[in-house]
Structure 1
Amino acid sequence: MSGLREKSFGIFCCLVLLVASFTSLYLRYVASLVPAHSLLVASEVTSGENLSINLDDTLNFGARQEVETRTSWKAPIIWERMFDPKLYDQKHIQKKSSVALTVFAVGRYLDAYLKTFLISAEQHFMLGLQVTYYVFTDQPDKVPHIDLGPQRSLKVIQVEKHSRWQDISMMRMKTISDTIESEIRHRCNYVFCLDVDQEFKGRFGSEALGDSVAQMHAWFYKAQKQSFTYDRNPKSKAFIESGDYYYHAAVFGGLCEHVKSLADHCFLGIMEDKLNDVEALWHDESHLNKYFWLHKPTRLLSPEYCWDQVISDNRDINVTRLIWAPKHYDTLRTK
């Protein structure tokens, strides 16, 4: 009789373990169906502001009737008056969003542009958030000292100076990818990659943050598609016959994993072109446009976020956030 009881007890224990195992697997399966961003911890639920809000649901797409505010794949195009800056900043501060800003200052570009770029970034870029500047240069000792605000830091990384400016431009993609992998992803949620020959003039804030962020080119945002300067050489990995928009490589960003994917795609395309003795028309920008054609960005920045003041028709630009600095290619670029 006691043996029967022991056998029954053993069967019961096995059933309990089976039920527990299946329950655990089922809960893990259910959890996999729920987006991570929709799961809130108790402290978030009880905080003053409900962090479950989708900020992009608050965008006013009808605020700018004269311009395009959403793509065909429903990605927002960010313009002034579409968003509430206080709401975006509050949400990202609560989330403790952190941003890396990468910039290359190689050769004569360091003296010509870097100080103005950094000082203006301190005044306008992602204020209120944790920001780390990554300055890539061949002259670390010449990087100017800048007084940084709270939660803001700067790291200088030495890079090789290539003999041709085209190679400097194209090889930055490998450097960005390597640095995201080795350091940035351990410190920051987002990364933005900007050209140094620019100056911040107005708010460039948390409304620009997204999974994968592309910058509309100021000279092409109203142009016909046939005028876009894609690389149309079928021998190049950057080849595009027709695309959606023309994007500017002077500004791109997003979550670390998305920017790394973009940088890896561009670098591999560049290296394959080199093996085939091909060079894309606009170098890394051509490969960037190919990437965004294949992998649609989740957020587009209007030309407010990268404006050329040479353009006389500025009716759409309510706020100038970042401008192109005067170009002196004849004296700054290596041949």
Structure 2
Amino acid sequence: MERLRPSRCFFVVFCCILVFFCSLSWYNMKESRWHLRAMFSCDQHPVESTISSLIENNVRLDRILYPKPETLKPPRTDVLTIAPWLAPIIWNGIFNSDILNAQFHKRGVRIGLTTFAIKKYVRFMKDFLETAEKFFMVGHKVNYYIFTDRAHEIPNITIGEGRHIHIINVTGYQRWQDVTMRRMQMIRDETYSRFINEVDYLVCVDVDMRFYGSVGVEILGDVFGTLHPGFFGASRQQFTYDRNPKSVACIPVDEGDFYYAGGYFGGKIEEVYKLTNFCHSAMMTDKAIGIEALWHDESYLNKYFLYYKPTKILSPEYVWNNYYGSPAAVQIKRFVGVDKNYDEVRFRR
């Protein structure tokens, strides 16, 4: 067989390389043409495309008419309405419920409300539920989660469409301190196993309260706390933080933003899990060395919010106690503590 001459070998190799690069170039041009076709075949007017899509899917865009917000005329100047880390502080008069409701209805949010009716605290359930039906998240989907050791005593009341009552049986601890501290664990566990599949936001409140005014989606955010009605005008030195340096709940006298009420917090499910898990873990750490924080779960909640800032803060309107009178800043009392004999309710079965 005749051997190829060197010049012919080089020619063959050159042709192979040329064919390879031509093929590669053709492929890239094909891809480029595909991308160009895809780009130019898309609607060049995304807004019109979105509207057309909504119309095709029978989604109606309702108009909402309201006064134009004025940049140089804030609705409230008598109170702080934003924290240094840019979290809004929710006071009466700074938000428009119609706008907020329209936005949250579009998202179809599901809201959970937890409360604890342990031992004699079950007596507050009827007032709590009846007033919640009048004022809490009206028009939205709500699941009431009632933790109780007396399920048979929970009143049977009529509730609105899209709203449900769920009873969660729990242990009735002897000491009220144990009840209030263990609720962080209970909320955490149920959030992990159940709530995350049923609701988008969780609002956690005390049961010995009643609703007097509207509490709506203005409170919802990633994670929120509520200013304690007894300290919203106090200095950090006056806050009743736990000062025991051996406790996980300890907050030094030169730290602290606000004093948050232990009976009103919440947010998105994932954030509530983080909050309650921290508080419970911190309690167990202290308990292992014989320490009990000054104000129990409230002390750990304040420690959490000091280092993991809430993304929204509720004013004392949302957890008022008539013991503190009627300061001018609190224009409406939305959720108010029920007068009671603490010794009788807490220490007798």
TM-score by length of 1: 0.84
The answer on 1:191 being equivalent to 2:202 is: yes
C-alpha contact (below 8 Å) 1:60/1:82 kept by paired residues: no
Q: Give distance in 2, aligned partners of 1:276 and 1:203.
A: 44
Q: Which position in structure 2 is the counterpart of 1:155?
A: 166
C-alpha deviation, 1:62, in angstroms = 2.2
The answer on 1:93 being equivalent to 2:105 is: yes
Q: Which position in structure 1 is the counterpart of 2:125?
A: 114
Q: Give distance in 2, aligned partners of 1:175 and 1:280.
A: 19
Q: How does 1:234-273 map to 2 (within 5 A)?
A: 234-241=245-252, 242-273=255-286
Q: Give distance in 2, aligned partners of 1:187 and 1:9.
A: 57
Match of 1:130, as an amino acid?
K
C-alpha deviation, 1:199, in angstroms = 0.3
Q: Give distance in 1, aligned partners of 2:216 and 2:61.
A: 22
Aligned residue pairs, count: 307
Q: Which position in structure 1 is the counterpart of 2:322?
A: 309
Match of 1:243, as an amino acid?
G
Match of 2:261, as an amino acid?
H
SS in 2 for 1:310: helix
SS in 2 for 1:65: coil
Match of 2:344, as an amino acid?
T
Q: Which position in structure 1 is the counterpart of 2:235?
A: 224
SS in 1 for 2:156: coil
Q: How does 1:33-182 map to 2 (within 5 A)?
A: 43=54, 48=61, 62-111=74-123, 113-182=124-193
Summarize deviations over 1:71-91 as a string: whole Å, max 9, x none: 111111001110011110111
SS in 2 for 1:185: helix
Q: Report runs of 4+ in structure 1 exceeding 3 Å deviation.
A: 7-13, 40-47, 57-61
Q: Give distance in 1, aligned partners of 2:71 and 2:195.
A: 29
SS in 2 for 1:87: helix
Give the greater-gyration-radius structure (CA).
Answer: 2
Change (3 A) 1:334 1:148: same
Q: Which position in structure 2 is the counterpart of 1:288?
A: 301
Q: Give distance in 1, aligned partners of 2:232 and 2:71.
A: 21
SS in 1 for 2:324: coil
Match of 1:178, as an amino acid?
D
Change (3 A) 1:142 1:60: farther
Q: Which position in structure 1 is the counterpart of 2:47?
A: none
Q: Give distance in 2, aligned partners of 1:58 and 1:238.
A: 42
C-alpha contact (below 8 Å) 1:266/1:291 kept by paired residues: yes
- Which of 320, 335, 339 is matched with 1:326 structurally? 339
Q: Which position in structure 1 is the counterpart of 2:46?
A: none
Summarize deviations over 1:263-297 as a string: whole Å, max 9, x none: 00000000000001000000000000000001000
Unpaired runs of 5+ residues, structure 1, are 24-39, 51-56
Unpaired runs of 5+ residues, structure 2, are 1-11, 36-49, 64-68
C-alpha contact (below 8 Å) 1:211/1:255 kept by paired residues: yes
Summarize deviations over 1:103-150 as a string: whole Å, max 9, x none: 000000002x11111111011001111000000000111111010101
Match of 2:163, as an amino acid?
R
Match of 1:125, as an amino acid?
F
| RMSD over aligned Cα atoms | 2.9
Q: Give distance in 1, aligned partners of 2:197 and 2:311.
A: 23
C-alpha contact (below 8 Å) 1:61/1:82 kept by paired residues: no
SS in 1 for 2:85: coil
SS in 2 for 1:333: helix
The answer on 1:274 being equivalent to 2:287 is: yes
TM-score by length of 2: 0.81
